[in-house]
Amino acid sequence: MSAASAPSTGSPPGNPGHSTGSAGATSSASGGAGGGAGSTSEHAAAPPSPRWPWLKYVTPIIVLLLAVAIIVTVTRDWNAWEGGHAEQVTDDAYVRGDLTPLSTKVPGIVKEVKVSDYQKVHAGDLLVQLEDDDYQAQVAQATAAIEAAKAAIENNRRQRELEDAKIDKAQAGVEQAKSQIAAAEAGINSVHADLVRTSEERTRQEALFATHSATQQRVEVAVADQERSAAQEASREADLAQAKTGLRSSEIGVETERRSKAVLESQDLQLVADLHAKEAALTVAQINLGYTKIHAPADGTVGERQVRAGQLVSPGTQVLTFVAETKWVQANYRETQLTHVKVGDAAEIRIDEYPGQTFRGKVMEIAPASGSQFSLLPPDNATGNFTKVVQRIPVKISLDDTAEAAKLRPGLSVTATVRTSH
């Protein structure tokens, strides 16, 4: 054992490199083994290199392009996307119809209501009847007033005829007075010639009697003849004056009768005007009598009755509501949807009450202003703060099938689609 250990502890001094070399070899081997283990560990922990390294830029590029597209769209024309569609759809649409509130025009008591609630009626059907006794009496009174006015006109006409006869009589008196004047003037001329002759004869007889060439008797005869002729001339002149007075009286009579006729003629105009007033009063009475009956203005349906028999109503009292058979759709489109919508465009109507059924129609009218302009209090954007709100424009759509339209009820919800030609 000591022999064995001796060589191991001792070494020849001249051979020291052998041990050193062995140790170095051992260290190299150990180092080599350690180095191999370290290289295997590093190879297992390193990640694999990417196959397409540019993929990490795709998402930022897409986000950037979307942002650019949105900015360009908003800054250029955002509404063009909506207004350029060939089909414009809105669910802000409803069935519309003419709803007419029927009211009374005259006061009265309801005699009878001829219809029940929601009953279909035809044009001219009697709906409500008021008591009409008072109005019948007014018609009769107006009729009697017209008859009285006609009688007054007839009486005036006959009085004018009487005045015409009086004028003719007075005119005849004028002609007669003129004839008497002519006769009196002729008689005066004749008597005047006798007066001249008898005056000359008297003068001659008186001259002869003064020379005792004639007798007293002859003178007295000549004087009597001359005085008789003078008396006859005076009588004829009195007749002439009387005839002239009669002429004047007749002429005055003619003028008086003519003026009386003129008064009657003016009264006739007044009586005719009064007759027209009485006829107008009769017309008013007949119209008021007609107002006691309320008829259906057209074919349609009545709403709920609001009066009953025996009820006192005044002018303007609503008795019921009438719904006409004609129906249409009012679609309230946004202003941005009406870029290419025009009258005549085809439309499809879908009504909530009839799911799965499509009605055909066409654009009939487009409102001339937005709905806000027709509101009770239109907006005034010139005051206060301003916030832009998209306005809606009512579009009236008529249905092609009138029979189908007649059965619709105003107020039903609708989805309307207009197909533009754009």
Q: What is the pLDDT of residue 169?
A: 86
Q: What is the pLDDT of residues 199-215, one digit of tens each?
A: 777 787 777 777 777 67
Comparing 291 with 242, which gets the higher pLDDT? 291
Tell me yes or no: is domain 85-131+300-419 CATH 2.40.30.170.
yes
Q: Is the pLDDT of residue 54 over 90?
A: no
CATH of domain 134-285: 1.10.287.620
Rounded to an integer, the average pLDDT of 251-256 is 86
Spans of all domains in the chain:
85-131+300-419, 134-285
Alpha carbon of residue 37 to chain centroid? 106
Burial label, 412 (beta-carbon count in 10 A; 0-12, 13-18, 19+): middle
What distance in Å separates the CA atoms of residue 251 and residue 244, rounded to the nearest whole number?
A: 10
The strand ranges marked E within 75-227 are 87-103, 108-113, 120-121, 126-130
Q: What is the pLDDT of residues 321-346, one digit of tens each?
A: 999 999 999 999 999 899 889 999 99
User: Torsions phi, psi of 103, nearest 5?
Assistant: -125, 165
**Predicted model pTM:** 0.60
Q: What is the pLDDT of residue 37?
A: 40
Q: What is the pLDDT of residue 75?
A: 62
Instruction: Report the chain's terminal Cα–Cα distance, integer Å.
Output: 117
Rounded to an integer, the average pLDDT of 184-206 is 76
Give the angle subtended at the CA of 73 by the CAs of 72 and 79, to the nearest 5°. 150
Task: Give yes or no for a contact between 92 and 415, defined as CB atoms under 8 angstroms apart.
Answer: no
Other beta carbons within 10 angstroms of residue 337's beta carbon come to: 22
Q: Tokens 């009839």, residue?
A: 354
Comparing 348 with 192, which gets the higher pLDDT? 348
422: pLDDT confidence band, cut at 50, 70 and 90? low
Q: Is the pLDDT of residue 62 over 70?
A: yes
51: pLDDT confidence band, cut at 50, 70 and 90? low
Q: What percent of the chain has pLDDT over 70?
A: 83
What distance in Å separates the CA atoms of residue 258 and residue 299, rounded to the nearest whole number?
A: 64
Q: Bridge-partner residues for 415, per DSSP?
A: 350
What distance in Å separates the CA atoms of residue 319 and residue 249, rounded to the nearest whole number?
A: 74
Which range, of 29-38, 75-84, 280-289, 297-306, averages the lowest pLDDT? 29-38
What distance in Å separates the CA atoms of residue 318 and residue 100, rounded to the nearest whole number?
A: 10
Residue type, 130: L
